A and B are shown apart, each in its own frame.
Chain A
Amino acid sequence: MRKGFLPRLAATGLSSNRQTYLPYFLTCTGTVLMFYNMCALAYHTSVLSEVSLSSLMTIGVWVTAIFAVIFLFYTNSFVIKRRKKEFGIYNILGLEKKHIGITMLFESLYVYVGSMVLGVGLGILFNKLITLLLYRMLRFDPNFQFAISLRAILYCAVLFAGIALLNLLYNLLQVRLSNPIQLLHGSNAGEKEPKAKWITALLGVVTLGAGYWLAITIQDPIEVLMLFFVAVILVIMGTYLLFTAGSVAILKLLRKNKRYYYKPAHFTTISGMIYRMKQNAAGLASICILSTAVLVMISTTVSMFVGSEDVLHTRYPEEIEVTASYPAGTEFDADALLENTMAVAGQEGRKIENLKAYTSTTVSADREGNAFIPAASGSSNNDVYLLVILSAQDFEGFTGKQVSVGPGELYAWGNVFGSAEAADWDSIAVLGHSYPLAGVDGSAPAIGAYSAWMAELCCLVTDSRDAVAAVAATAQEAYGETYNPNPYYSRICFDTDGTTEEKTAFAQALREDQLSKYPRDVDNDPIVTMRSRETTRDSFFSLYGGLFFLGIFLGSLFLMATVLIIYYKQIVEGYDDKERFAIMQKVGMSRQEVKRTVRTQVLLVFFIPLLAAAVHITAAFPMLTKLLKLLGLENIPLFLVCTICTVLVFALIYAIVYSMTAKVYYRIVYRKG
């Protein structure tokens, strides 16, 4: 055989099958573009790591990769089915299967290289645009250095080479398994009716159930963060399994119901769907997953954006917060810091409201009964307690409540003191010293600054600051080297009156004053820091605007993919169905009936995944609210409204695509005459 014949045959094969290969090629290119952008955003956009979104983006990368594998495999199986006849002719004309294999190898290579070059090229352009917009919205330096992400290119190359190889192997297997005559008839051989696979269906129920269970039951925010990805994977697996096995089972049940089945619209739809369910299932599941991803991304980012004022207030409960961390025995004076702050406020003419000022120290500990003992080093024990120890005077400065605590006594505030176990405790031990209890409060301590800590909080109130110092000294002994070098923590927070400009001016004056008066510590960290809600507002909003933009961008990307899949799927099926509809029209199916059947069929294909996506998002809702809480959004009704609106808008877009698709499909299958 002459050299270069097979590569040329492969090229001819592709160009003469333009109708099938062009959509496939474009699908590959689009998927590459999407994956490149996900990778580049996840690994190369430093802004995102600054706002700790990288981990979420990494999930996005994985989801996109899984989606790419399934979707391209599924599309390829369509393509190869249509080409079997051609390979059969080659085989009959004397091309060995080996040569056909080599031809296929070249074809895959062309498609791979072509879609990689085009996809990555467009991806880089697209990524540049996105990054530019993102930086502008985040008000970062617009003269940033735009980098082409080599890592993302590498990931793309590897992933899509893997997919191309998988598809090639599948195609080779198809050719190897059949003789020329079977190949010749390959494109119109009836697919065996799939068996309802009960084990797969059961597995699907189990995985989906596990995913839902995780999403609904997990309460702890940290666990939510860790297990979110697990839940996502479980739900994706469950969706695919259920769609493949469950859908056939449901359709067969519908077929058994004769009164339902033998109706003009249901009759052809149900049998057609059973016939093609294997392909349908993967497609429908992909559509469902993508729709869910779109809904989650858009609803969360929209509600964060809309709720950013809320988030600002959650993150910055007070207008101004001044904090200082310092070691024991320094000359730092918390009272002087307060006086100084008041003085600056006086100079600027601001009135102080809702003042809270206190000094505390914190010690982490394990608990055995009523004894708090030094936490084992490196212990990842979940029962770690964070003890916040402060004097009665500071407690009042902080909460406004007065408690009477005698010398050597403690007033205790924490969930554990409300438990049944603690009912008969009249004293507790802290790092070896026993203290009689002056009183307890069994509720969860609302200590703003500590609320994000992973440990359970306990607030212990002593009679004096000296007693606090004594506890700190004990802790120093117990922990030695590993003890916090700055155990004392003073916090002053308050609101002020005045306009936005006046508030900003005051915040700036206070900052300058502190910079001049307070030195840095041995590690060159400032001892005193301050935050102001007003001066943060701008950057805060631009950050949330950026997030919003990112959500809309990714959402649209996924939406586009969804729409393309549905459209492509329906068109390909339309060509498959053309023959069937022609026969049915000959037998006496009217135009109206063709129209109605098409509508039912397309409607099912469209709205089953949408329904499943709606169920998914309902189950994910509790988990999402906790994730949002971690990010500072606690306004659940707002999130609920945003989610519902997103679903409605999505359904609307969906309905438009549906009617377009149904029209095109109808035009394909309806035979005039």
Chain B
Amino acid sequence: MPLLEVKNLKKVYTTRFGGAQVQALRAVNFSVERGEYVAIMGESGSGKTTLLNIIASLDKPTAGKVLLAGEDVTSIAEKQLSVFRRKKLGFVFQDFNLLDTFCIRDNIFLPLVLSGEDHKKMEEKLIPIAKKLRIEDILDKYPYEVSGGQKQRCAVARALITGPELILADEPTGALDSRASDNLLDMFSRINGEGQTILMVTHSVKAASHASRVLFIRDGEVYTQLYRGERTKEAFYADIASSLTLLSVGGEEHA
């Protein structure tokens, strides 16, 4: 059974006064196996972020299902939603979403504190993760005192610390310079290598070339997908780039 199954997902936004309707997702179908590293690519407005928000249970679909380990995310009661999000999912955002009021350590602890975890256990969980992400030295600093790359690594640590089934990353390299981006992507590859499933939405061909599979979304549908297979990163990069070109040119032809 796949870890994540997205079936016939449809999302229609209606403006507040019932005027124009905008179809963000038409019919999205795909699945993610345990241990996969999947990137979702598409132009602005293609529905990537809507898709991610629905998978993350931050938004409700108009129709369709999202199954995470067999459980339908879209039908979880409001009360259980936050517990679900806390335990099953880890989030990495483009703008880090760290809280300035907490030091790095407390930022990472946040989901555990919300779960009512014992403080000693939290420390135990933090040590290996902090070592892996090389943030042991900045744990007592505040987010406004560290660099963007460090911030994003802390956000990754916060996503990992609950031991989630799935990491959802929304443009994780969007606010980073190229060195920090490379660094973070290596980190992701290593985490994935240890068995962590990752679903990443990105604009960046380079980021996508780290994944094991890339889904291309256009006009609210999965248009095509590419498997990396045995190719090198560089070869995969070239393939993704040409697919993207095809995607946009093809789009013009269809229109």
**Residues of A that sit less than 8 Å from B by CB:** 189-190, 193, 258-259, 262-264, 267-268, 271-272, 274-275, 580, 583-593, 673
Contact = CB atoms under 8 A, between A and B. Distances in A.
Contacts of B143: 190
Nearest to A258: B119
Interface in B96-122: 97-102, 106, 109-111, 113-117, 119, 122
Interface in B61-102: 78-79, 81-83, 85-87, 91, 93, 97-102
Contacts of A584: 99, 110, 114
Given A193-B142, A673-B59, A267 B113 contact: yes
A256 to B, nearest CB: 12
A587 B101 contact: no
Contacts of A592: 79
B253 to A, nearest CB: 38
B158 interface: yes
Contacts of B223: none
B13 interface: no
Contacts of B91: 586-587
Contact of A587 (B83, B106, B110, B119): B110
B78 A591 contact: yes
Interface string B202-236: 00000000000000000000000000000000000
A580 B107 CA distance: 11
B144 interface: yes
A275 B83 contact: no
Contacts of A673: 58-59
Contacts of A586: 56, 58, 85, 91, 93, 97
Interface size class of B (residues with CB under 8 A): 20 to 34
A588 B82 contact: yes
Interface of B: 56, 58-59, 78-79, 81-83, 85-87, 91, 93, 97-102, 106, 109-111, 113-117, 119, 122, 142-144, 158
Closest 8 CB pairs of A and B: A588-B86, A590-B82, A190-B144, A190-B100, A275-B101, A588-B85, A271-B101, A583-B97
A271 B82 contact: no
A577 to B, nearest CB: 9
Given A190-B100, A580-B101, A267 B111 contact: no
Given A259-B119, A264-B114, A271-B106, A589 B99 contact: no
A587 B111 contact: yes
Contact of B114 (A193, A271, A593): A593
Nearest to B58: A673
Contacts of A259: 119
Contacts of A258: 119
Contacts, number: 76
A588 B93 CA distance: 14
B119 A590 contact: no
A588 B114 contact: yes
B155 to A, nearest CB: 10
12 contacts: A262-B113, A262-B117, A263-B113, A268-B101, A580-B99, A584-B114, A586-B56, A586-B97, A587-B85, A588-B86, A593-B82, A593-B114
Given A588-B86, A589-B114, A590-B82, 11 more contacts: A190-B100, A190-B144, A268-B101, A580-B100, A580-B101, A586-B93, A587-B91, A588-B82, A591-B78, A673-B58, A673-B59
Contacts of A268: 101
Given A258-B119, A271-B102, A274-B101, A587 B158 contact: yes
Contact of A272 (B83, B101, B116, B119): B101
Residue from the set B81, B110, B122 with the largest chain A CB neighbour count within 10 Å: B110
Nearest to B80: A590
Contacts of A588: 82-83, 85-87, 111, 114-115
Contacts of B56: 586
Contact of A267 (B93, B106, B144, B158): B106
A421 to B, nearest CB: 67
Residue from the set A262, A584, A587, A593 with the largest chain B CB neighbour count within 10 Å: A587
Provide the main secondary structure of the chain B interface: helix
Given A587-B91, A591-B78, A262 B100 contact: no
A579 to B, nearest CB: 9
Residue from the set B78, B87, B114, B116 with the largest chain A CB neighbour count within 10 Å: B114
A587 B162 CA distance: 11
Contacts of B119: 258-259, 262
Nearest to A273: B101
Residue from the set A189, A586, A588, A589 with the largest chain B CB neighbour count within 10 Å: A588
A584 B115 CA distance: 12
B100 A587 contact: no
Contact of A590 (B79, B87, B109): B79
B236 to A, nearest CB: 31
B237 to A, nearest CB: 31
A669 to B, nearest CB: 13
Contact of A262 (B79, B81, B85, B122): B122
Given A190-B144, A262-B109, A588-B82, A583 B99 contact: yes
A189 B144 contact: yes
A193 B142 CA distance: 9
Contacts of A593: 82, 114
Contacts of B87: 588
Contacts of B85: 586-588
Contacts of B111: 587-588
Nearest to A671: B58
Contacts of A580: 99-101
A267 B114 CA distance: 9
B78 to A, nearest CB: 7
A673 B117 CA distance: 26
Contacts of A272: 101
A193 B87 CA distance: 31
A262 B122 CA distance: 10
A593 B97 CA distance: 19
Contacts of A590: 79, 81-83
Contacts of A263: 113, 116
Nearest to A191: B100
Contacts of B102: 271
A592 B80 CA distance: 11
Contacts of A271: 99, 101-102, 106
A583 B100 CA distance: 11
A589 B83 CA distance: 8
Contacts of B79: 590-592
A190 B158 CA distance: 20
Residue from the set A189, A580, A593 with the largest chain B CB neighbour count within 10 Å: A580
A193 B100 CA distance: 10
Nearest to A270: B101
B114 A587 contact: yes
Nearest to B115: A588
B97 to A, nearest CB: 5
Nearest to B56: A586
B82 A589 contact: yes
Contacts of B106: 267, 271
A580 B102 CA distance: 10
Contact of A264 (B58, B83, B98, B116): B116
A89 B78 CA distance: 42
Contacts of B97: 583, 586-587
Nearest to A271: B101
A267 B83 CA distance: 18
Contact of A585 (B82, B109, B117): B82
